[in-house]
A and B are shown apart, each in its own frame.
Chain A
C-alpha cells in the first residue's frame, strides 16, 4: 500500500492533542443542585488539584485516538498498487466508404465492434477517448473504464464526406500530449481509403500507434463523373456524359440505366475492364431538367451506383433602364448574355420586378423590389442627399477589391461635372477624385446599390472598353446570387434569400422540408448529406417568389475507390511514454471505517448519558 498524499500524515499530530485534552483538567460540566453543602470537601484529592492529570484509559479515549489516526491515514489517500495507467485513443474512420459491405454488416459496424472490444480490455482507471475521423475530426467521447465509449460508439454514424485522417491524427496527438503519466495508445480503425498522412507534419506523437485495417476489398464499380454540356450549335439541347469506373482487379459487366427527368433514355450492359473507366455520352431530350444515371453492379459499395445532375437553364435576368438618354447603357447591356432589358422613360416609370434597375439622372419616389444602379441623381431627390457639385476633376483611385472594378480601371477618367453628397451612412466610397468620393456602394433601404455621382454620357467613359466591363461587373454584382447546381454531400451552402422573402423552404431528396425564417443575411444550410436533388423555395408569406435547385452527387475516383491506399506500417509507431503505475485509492473504505468508529463513540457516549 502506498500513500498518495503522505504529507497529510501531519494530521497524526491530532493524537497528542487529544491526549493533551485528557491530560489537562477539562472544563467541568455545570450542574445546578439544590445545595452544595454536602458535596464540599468530599475528597481530599480534589483540594489543590494540579491542572493536569494522567489520562484515564477509557474506551472513548481509545476510540477518539483511533478515529484521529484513521482520519489522518484517510487524508493521506492510501492506495493499493495497480497496473500501468493507460490512455487509449480510438480513431474510427467514418468516411462513406466505411459503409462498404465487404465485411458484415459493413465496415463501420465492424470497426465499432472492434473498438468496443479493444476498450473492454481497459482497467477501471484507464482513460479512453473516441475520435470520429470524419471530414472535420472531433472527440466524441472521453471517460474512464472499459465501458466509457460504449454509448458514443453506438451513436457513431458515417459522414457524408471522406474523413480527414491527417487532422484526426493531429487531434489524437494533441490529446495524447495532454495525458500525463499514462501509457498512450492510438488505435486507428479504418478501411485505409485515404492517402497516407504525414506524421512528420504533425510532429512527435507521444503514443504508440497501431492501425487496424477494416475490410480491404476493391470490388466496386461506380459512377465517377456525370455532367451535361450544350450541344454544339444549340442553346437548348444538351449532351450527358457519364464515366463509370471499375475499381476491381477483374473485368466486370454492369448494367447502366440513364433517365431524363425520371424517364429512361438509356439501358445497356457495359463491360468494364479491370481498374479502368468507361465513358458514355448521351443526347438528352430537349427540356430535360434532371439527368440521372444508375448502374446495377454486384459490388460491395452501393453509394456510388447512382448519380444525378441538373441541366443548366438559361434564366433571363430582368434589367430595367430608366434614362432620358439610354443609348450608352443599351450598347453596354446588349453584350451581356441572359439580360432581358426594359427601357423606360423616367416620366413613365413604375416600379417593377426587375432584378436590377438603372436610374440615370432620375430617382423615383417609390423604389422597385430589385437592386439599384443610381447614376447622377438629381438634386433634391428623396433618396440620396445631393449637397452640391464637384468642379472638373479626375478619378484618382478605385477600390481594387470591389468586383465592379475587376478589369475596369477608371483612374484618370476626367469628370467635367460631378456631384457632392451629404452624409450617407449606408454608403461606402469605392472611387475617389481629387475633390472627394464620386462612386459608392452599399445597401440602401434593403437594396444592394451602386451610386455613380456623375453622368457617364458627359465623359469619355462610354467610349472606353472599361465601360461595358464595368456595366457587366455591376450587373453581375447586383444580380441575385444563384446556387451551384451540383455540390458534394455534406457541403455547407449559403442560401441567399430573394428580396421580400419571409421564409425559405428546402425540400430534401427524401421529401423532408426544412423551413428557415427570414434572416438578415444568407441562410447557412448544412443538411446536404443525402444524395439527390434539393429544391429551395423563397416565400413571401405563403407565395413562392423564387425557386432554385441543386443536386448532391458523390462523384470522383477518390470517392469510389474502396480499396486500401496505405501501408499500415507507415502509421505504426512506438513512442509512448512508459506511464506511471496506477493506484487504487482505498480512502473511501477508510472513511467508512471512520463513520463506524464515530457511530460506536456516539453509541457509547449516548449510553453513558442515559445510564
Chain B
C-alpha cells in the first residue's frame, strides 16, 4: 500500500522544475558580469533527481533531548528504549535496572545497559538569512542558502518530520508554517523562492523574535553569513535556551574568502552603506584573508564551546559534497 504522502520522484522533479543541469547553470552564472549582487536562482533548481534519492537515505542527527511530538522516522542521537540496538554502556546508579542486559552480565560479569536508538519525531527549524549581505557573491550566497534550506527541508519532510522555515534580516519575515510529509516540499520551495531579499542583519533581534513565538523544540539550522549588526552569538544562545538543537551553517562566497580586488577602491557595505577607501594590493589581501580565517576560527570556537554544530560552507561547494561528506563528518546527518 503506497503512502499517500510519499510523492514519486518524477512528480517531485516536475513540481520542482528540474530541467537544467547544475554545471550548465554554474557556467552561465560564471559568464555574468561580476557585480556579485543579486544572482538568485529558484530554490529547487539545483536539486537533481539523483541527489534527492541520496538525500532520502540520510537522517538528521539531533544532539539534545526531543521533547514531544509524534513518533517520526528521525534518528536521534539520544539512545532510548526500542528494539534497534545502538550500543552498550556501564550501569550507573539511577539507571533503569530493567534495561540491564542480563546476558552480558552472565558472560562478562558486569552490569551493562543495552542502548537502543530512538525513532523520534522532531521539528526542523530552518532559519535562513535573507539580508542584503547574503545577496552577493558568485555563486550567490542567498541562492546557496535557499538551496541548502530546500535540501534540508526535503530531507526532513522525507522522514516525515515536522518542518518550519523562516527568513530573516533585522526581523523575521513571514514564517512558513509547520508542515509534515513529502507532499509539502512544493510549498516549501515556493516559500523559499518568494522570500524577500534585503535589509540589515540583526541576528540577535531576529532570533529573539523567533523564540517569542511557539518554539516546540527540535533542531534549528541557522543559515547565515553571520555578518550581523548585533550580537549573533547572543541570538544563537537564545535558540539554545529554547531547547533547540542548533546547527550554524556559515555561508561564505569564494570571493569573500579570497577576494580578487585590486587597486584604489571604494568598498561599500552592502547593508549599511558604509564606505572604506582602500588601496588593495597583495599585502592588503593577505591581511584580509587572515582576518577572515580568524573570524571563522572564532565562530567555530564559539560553536564548539556551546556544543553547537557548525559548518563553514563556500558557495561553490556542491550540495552533494555538503550533505554526503561535510555534514556526515560533522555528524549533522547520517
Contact = CB atoms under 8 A, between A and B. Distances in A.
A interacts with B: yes
Interface of A: 25-40, 42-43, 46, 608, 611
B276 A39 contact: yes
A39 B269 CA distance: 10
Interface stretch (B77-85, B120-128, B190-198, B282-290): B282-290
B153 interface: no
B267 interface: yes
Contacts of A34: 132-134, 136-137, 141, 225, 227, 253, 256, 269-271
B265 interface: yes
Given A43-B283, A46-B278, A37 B266 contact: no
Contact of B277 (A32, A46, A608): A46
Given A34-B225, A38-B295, A43 B287 contact: yes
Contacts of B277: 28, 46
Contacts of A32: 35-37, 136, 268, 270
A39 B271 CA distance: 15
B4 interface: no
A38 B291 contact: yes
Contacts of B284: 42-43
A352 B134 CA distance: 110
A29 to B, nearest CB: 5
Contact of B278 (A26, A39, A608): A39
Contact of A30 (B136, B266, B287): B266
A608 B262 CA distance: 10
B253 A36 contact: no
A31 B291 contact: no
Contacts of A39: 267, 276, 278, 288
B180 to A, nearest CB: 35
Interface string B287-305: 1100110010000000000
B136 A31 contact: no
Question: Which 7 pairs across A and B sit closest by C-beta, in order of nearness?
Answer: A28-B266, A34-B133, A35-B227, A36-B269, A36-B276, A38-B291, A30-B266
25 contacts: A25-B264, A29-B264, A31-B261, A31-B266, A32-B136, A32-B268, A33-B36, A33-B267, A33-B268, A33-B269, A34-B134, A34-B136, A34-B137, A34-B141, A34-B225, A34-B256, A35-B227, A35-B271, A36-B272, A36-B274, A39-B267, A42-B278, A42-B288, A43-B279, A43-B283
A46 B137 CA distance: 26
B275 interface: yes
B10 to A, nearest CB: 39
Contacts of B132: 34
Contacts of A31: 261, 265-268
B265 A28 contact: yes
Contact of B292 (A26, A27, A38, A608): A38
B263 interface: yes
A34 B227 CA distance: 8
A287 B269 CA distance: 117
A26 B264 contact: yes
Contacts of B37: 32
A36 B267 contact: yes
A569 to B, nearest CB: 81
Contacts, number: 85
Interface string B250-266: 00010010011111111
Of B253, B268, B292, most buried by chain A (CB within 10 Å of CB) is: B268
Nearest to B134: A34
Given A34-B271, A35-B269, A608-B262, 17 more contacts: A25-B264, A28-B264, A28-B277, A31-B268, A32-B268, A32-B270, A34-B227, A34-B270, A35-B227, A35-B271, A36-B268, A36-B272, A38-B295, A39-B276, A42-B287, A43-B284, A46-B277
A611 B263 CA distance: 13
A37 B288 CA distance: 10
Interface string B200-223: 000000000000000000000000
Contacts of A35: 133, 225, 227, 269-271
B3 to A, nearest CB: 43
A43 to B, nearest CB: 6
B270 A40 contact: no
Nearest to A26: B264
Nearest to A609: B34
A43 B262 CA distance: 14
Contacts of B253: 34
A36 B276 CA distance: 7
B202 to A, nearest CB: 13
A32 B225 CA distance: 16
Interface centre among A28, A35, A40, by most B CB within 10 Å?
A35
Contacts of B35: 32
Contacts of A28: 264-266, 277-278
Contacts of B141: 34
Contacts of B134: 34
Among A29, A34, A36, A37, the most chain B Cβ lie within 10 Å of the Cβ of A34
Contacts of B265: 28-31
A25 to B, nearest CB: 7
B275 A36 contact: yes
B77 to A, nearest CB: 34
A149 B51 CA distance: 83
Given A28-B266, A29-B263, A32-B35, A37 B278 contact: no
A117 to B, nearest CB: 66
Contact of B279 (A33, A46, A608): A46
Q: Taking each of A39, A40, A611, which has the highest tally of chain B beta carbons within 10 Å of its own beta carbon?
A: A39
A143 B102 CA distance: 122
A581 B42 CA distance: 77
Contacts of B271: 34-35
A35 B36 CA distance: 13
A176 B210 CA distance: 99
A136 B266 CA distance: 78
A46 B262 CA distance: 15
Contacts of B263: 29
B254 to A, nearest CB: 12
A40 B284 CA distance: 11
Interface string B135-154: 01100010000000000000
B322 to A, nearest CB: 20
B265 to A, nearest CB: 5
B119 to A, nearest CB: 41
Contacts of B274: 36
Contacts of B291: 38
A181 B269 CA distance: 69
B30 to A, nearest CB: 12
A188 to B, nearest CB: 73
A37 B227 contact: yes
Contacts of A37: 227, 269
A37 B260 CA distance: 17
Contacts of A38: 288, 291-292, 295
A43 B276 CA distance: 12
B139 to A, nearest CB: 14
Nearest to B281: A43
A39 B278 CA distance: 8
A335 B137 CA distance: 119
Contacts of B288: 38-39, 42
B111 to A, nearest CB: 55
